Amino acid sequence: MFKILSKEQLNSETCLVEFHAPDIAAAAGPGQFLVLRVDEKGERFPLTIHDMDPERGTVSVVCQAVGVSTRKLCSLGEGGHVADIAGPLGHRVSGAGYGKVIVVGGGVGVAEAYPVARLFAGNGSEVEVIAGFRTKELVLCEKELKEFCREVHVTTDDGSYGRKGFVTDVLGGLLTKKKYDLAFVVGPVAMMKAVSGMTLSENLETRVSLNALMVDGTGMCGCCRILYGGEKRFACYDGPDFDASKVDFEDLGRRVSSYVEKERQALEHKCRIGLVPPSAGRGK
């Protein structure tokens, strides 16, 4: 069992949860993730380590309540417990030696990119961020990113905050004016594909953090298989970040949407029988 030391509702669908997990905190690094199980009957699901504090023995995650497991986690409060946490999993991002880095995040991907952006800045890179959200209420981490980034560009699809449009609208302008040494991209598959298309056509080294479906997170089950330069790789074991030029985004997109209908039915059923809160957020 892992205890929740603090829980903050960041917006109607996203929460920040801090766990007491000293062994994980001592070993965790930027870009790594956890596989959690909220209760003994729950499924295992991955969340990126948003922050870690080895001295306090804590790790935190930012969780968007999209389905059964993430809603269950967001419904817990301070003092609550989850059944298991495995981690840290995946490779750390190694972020040394880049002059200018552009980090592009979409939705909760911005919170996932936060520790990586901080690593680059800590290693002396000049970091610029483009953070895209559907609407103002869902904007995450802007203040925290501004503490160490040279510039943070926020976009909203509906224009309710920052620039109206998609991250690609801002990126297009920046790529014509500035030179970067690396792009790091985290978000929905379609967004990572569109961003990588633009950056790679400028010959900019681009890394993407892949959100493949995962179960064990250790390279055993094969669930997170991706096609990479025509060969199989496991996103959990070989990644989660990869050279975007070799990723088959079509295959990834097909695989991550394989269970959408089953997941929707499971959510409806569990809401009906009261095992999951009927709306995404505002847990305890």
- Interface residues with ligand FAD (CB under 6 A) are 33, 45-48, 61-64, 66-70, 108, 112, 211-215, 240, 256, 260, 263, 267
With CA atoms as reference, report the closest residue to 230 among 254, 250, 216. 250
State in angstroms the smallest separation of the CB of 189 from ligand FAD.
9
Single residue of 132, 217, 239, 240 touching ligand FES by CB under 6 A:
217
Please identify, using beta-carbon distances, which residue of 161 and 237 lies nearer to ligand FES: 237
Q: Which stretch binds ligand FES (CB under 6 A): 14-22, 198-206, 222-230, 248-256?
A: 222-230
Residue 161, number of CB atoms within 10 A of its CB: 16
Instruction: Name the binder of 220 from ligand FAD, ligand FES, none, CB < 5-8 A by kind.
Output: ligand FES
Query: Which DSSP symbol is given to 247?
Result: B
CA 63, chain centre distance (Å) = 9
Residues 236-255 that bind ligand FES (CB under 6 A): 236-237
In angstroms, what CA-CA distances link 81 with 36, 44, 165, 247? 11, 15, 39, 37
In angstroms, what CA-CA distances link 64 with 35, 117, 250, 280? 15, 20, 24, 8
Please identify, using beta-carbon distances, which residue of 88 and 217 lies nearer to ligand FES: 217
State in angstroms the smallest separation of the CB of 127 from ligand FAD.
19
CA 15, chain centre distance (Å) = 13
State in angstroms the smallest separation of the CB of 77 from ligand FAD.
18
Instruction: Name the binder of 132 from ligand FAD, ligand FES, none, CB < 5-8 A by kind.
Output: none
What gap in Å lies between CA 198 and CA 171, rounded to an integer? 8
Q: Does 232 bind ligand FES (CB under 6 A)?
A: no
Q: Does 26 bind ligand FES (CB under 6 A)?
A: no
Q: Does 228 bind ligand FES (CB under 6 A)?
A: no
Q: Does 219 bind ligand FES (CB under 6 A)?
A: yes
Please identify, using beta-carbon distances, which residue of 58 and 180 lies nearer to ligand FAD: 58
Instruction: Name the binder of 13 from ligand FES, ligand FAD, none, CB < 5-8 A by kind.
Output: none
Q: For residue 43, what is the enclosing H or E element? A: none
With CA atoms as reference, report the closest residue to 36 among 89, 73, 85, 87. 85
Q: Report residue 265 as tokens.
A: 């039915």
What gap in Å lies between CA 271 and CA 279, rounded to an integer? 9
In angstroms, what CA-CA distances link 37 with 30, 41, 51, 203, 240? 21, 8, 19, 41, 20
Please identify, using beta-carbon distances, which residue of 47 and 198 lies nearer to ligand FAD: 47
Instruction: Name the binder of 64 from ligand FES, ligand FAD, none, CB < 5-8 A by kind.
Output: ligand FAD
Q: Does 223 bind ligand FES (CB under 6 A)?
A: yes
Instruction: Name the binder of 234 from ligand FES, ligand FAD, none, CB < 5-8 A by kind.
Output: ligand FES
